[in-house]
Amino acid sequence: MTDSSAVLGRERAAVADACRRLGAEGLLIGTAGNVSVRVEERVAITATGAVLAELAADQVTVVDLDGKIVAGTLEPTSELDLHLGVYRRYGTGAVVHTHAPMATALSLVLDELPCIHYQLLALGGTVRVAPYATFGTPELAESVLAALEGRSAALMANHGALTHAPTLDKAVEHALLLEWACGVYQHAAAFGPPRVLGEQQQLAVIEAATARNYGTTHPVAPAQEEER
The mean per-residue pLDDT over the stretch 170-198 comes to: 97
pLDDT at site 216: 67
pLDDT at site 117: 97
pLDDT at site 5: 62
- Give the whole-number percent of the chain exceeding pLDDT 90: 86
For residue 117, count other CB atoms closer than 10 A to its CB. 17
pLDDT in tens, 54-80: 999 999 999 999 999 999 999 999 999
Listed residue (20, 13, 70, 60) closest to 40, CA to CA:
70
What is the amino acid identity at position 53? A
Please determine, for residue 201, whether its predicted confidence score (pLDDT) is greater than 80.
yes
Please determine, for residue 217, whether its predicted confidence score (pLDDT) is greater than 70.
no
pLDDT in tens, 119-156: 999 999 999 999 999 999 999 999 999 999 999 999 99
- Altogether, the residues listed in the chain come to a count of 228
pLDDT in tens, 74-95: 999 999 999 999 999 999 999 9
Does residue 79 carry a catalytic annotation?
Answer: yes
Q: Quick one: pLDDT band at residue 218, thresholds 50, 70, 90?
A: low
pLDDT at site 3: 44
For residue 188, count other CB atoms closer than 10 A to its CB. 14
pLDDT at site 84: 98
- Give the strands of the sheet with 94-98, arranged side by side: 69-71, 60-64, 42-46, 34-39, 94-98, 160-165, 153-156, 127-130, 112-113
Give me the catalytic one of 25, 40, 79, 199.
79
Q: What is the mean pLDDT of the chain?
A: 93
